[in-house]
Amino acid sequence: MTTLRPRRSAAQRYPHWPIHLALLVTSFLMLVPFYWVLKTSLTGENIFVYPPSLWPVHPHLYFFVDVWYLIPFPRWLLNSVVVSALAIAANVVFNAMAAYALTRHFRGKRLVITLLLSCMMIPFQTTIVPAYLITGRLGLLNSYLGMALPTFSTIVCIFVYKAAFDAVPRSLIDAARIDGLSELQIIRRVMLPLSSAAVATNVILSFIWSWNNFLWPLIVVRDASMQPLPLGLSRFLSDHENTTGALYAFCIMVLLPGIALFLMAQQQFIRGLTSGATKG
């Protein structure tokens, strides 16, 4: 994704149109579900009429208005925003601190790194039962903090930071220390400004993960008023299965922030995911 090496010699040897054809078909198949849902969100669908229309007939935006006013969408949006904001802030700060510590040499460093790498092998889904009990003992069930706490630090993101911090010249840090900056100030004034790509990766990944998170809120949230959007969406599905238009308008409204963010910061996003993935 980063740099592309031109393959001039190869280009002359084979025609391009079969590749375009194959990729156009692939793209079509990847995009069709989006189109189908977008169409339904604009027109609704009478499930007793067959065949369904392939094109949006008389499109309107009333379903989007319905979603905003008739269900507690703004409240769920607020819940999602608060939880995501908590997760992003914690990730940006805690991961940077941990990564900065890992750029130092100290006894037990190898142990810590081994520990982090093995923790990556423990998917969150295999911890849900005790994680629920632990959160209960902490008195954090049904709270914003309880929803966000497990995502407060992410191992992948620590390594993304560490790679960026390792590239900062040692002399710069020493100079900052001589100028009397404390270690926290060194992180804030020297390391973070020099690793803006890593910061962006941290923000984007922690946003996407907490924004999309479903299983954990499903376990810890009890009140409908505390639900984040994915949970609201799933409850809406089970309560009003046949109010087609509004359900799919809801889907589109929930997906849009993710799509927008992804299209804006594609490079950072992909770099973060691949570096995270390849680091273990």
Q: Is 211 in the site for other proteins (CB under 8 A)?
A: yes
Of 175, 225, 258, 260, the residue at the interface with other proteins (CB under 8 A) is: 258
Q: Is 68 in the site for other proteins (CB under 8 A)?
A: no
**In the chain, which residue ranges form alpha helices assigned H by DSSP?**
8-13, 17-43, 62-70, 73-103, 109-120, 128-137, 144-148, 155-166, 170-178, 183-186, 192-194, 196-212, 215-220, 229-239, 244-264, 266-278
Q: How far is the CB of 185 from other proteins (least distance, A)?
A: 13
Residue tagged 């509004």 (tokens): 246
Q: How far is the CB of 226 from other proteins (least distance, A)?
A: 17
Of 107, 171, 180, 223, the residue at the interface with other proteins (CB under 8 A) is: 107
Nearest 5°: CA angle at 94, between 154 and 132?
A: 55
Q: How far is the CB of 169 from other proteins (least distance, A)?
A: 19
User: Residues 6 or more apart from 248 whose CB is under 8 A from it?
Assistant: 37, 38, 40, 41, 63
Of 143, 177, 200, 212, the residue at the interface with other proteins (CB under 8 A) is: 212
Q: How far is the CB of 202 from other proteins (least distance, A)?
A: 12
Question: Which range binds other proteins by CB under 8 A, 71-79, 171-179, 193-201, 271-279?
Answer: 271-279
Which residues inside 114-143 make contact with other proteins, applying CB under 8 A? 115-116, 119, 121-134
Q: Is 221 in the site for other proteins (CB under 8 A)?
A: no
Nearer to other proteins, 54 or 169 (CB): 54
CA 173 to chain centre: 32
Q: How far is the CB of 69 from other proteins (least distance, A)?
A: 20
Number of residues that bind other proteins (CB under 8 A): 106
Which residues inside 145-174 make contact with other proteins, applying CB under 8 A? 149-150, 152-153, 155, 158
Return the axis-axis angle of helices 196-212 and 155-166, rounded to nearest 10°: 170
| Contact in structure between 166 and 101 (CB atoms under 8 Å) | no
HEC readout, 166-187: HCCCHHHHHHHHHCCCCHHHHH
Question: Which range binds other proteins by CB under 8 A, 56-64, 69-77, 96-104, 170-178?
Answer: 96-104
What are the angstrom distances between the C-alpha of 102 and each of 96, 155, 183? 10, 12, 13
Question: Which range binds other proteins by CB under 8 A, 60-68, 164-172, 191-199, 226-234?
Answer: 226-234
Question: Which range binds other proteins by CB under 8 A, 70-78, 165-173, 191-199, 259-267?
Answer: 259-267
Q: How far is the CB of 95 from other proteins (least distance, A)?
A: 7
Torsion of CA 155, 157, 163, 168, to 10 degrees: -120
Q: How far is the CB of 271 from other proteins (least distance, A)?
A: 9
Torsion of CA 170, 206, 119, 214, to 10 degrees: 180
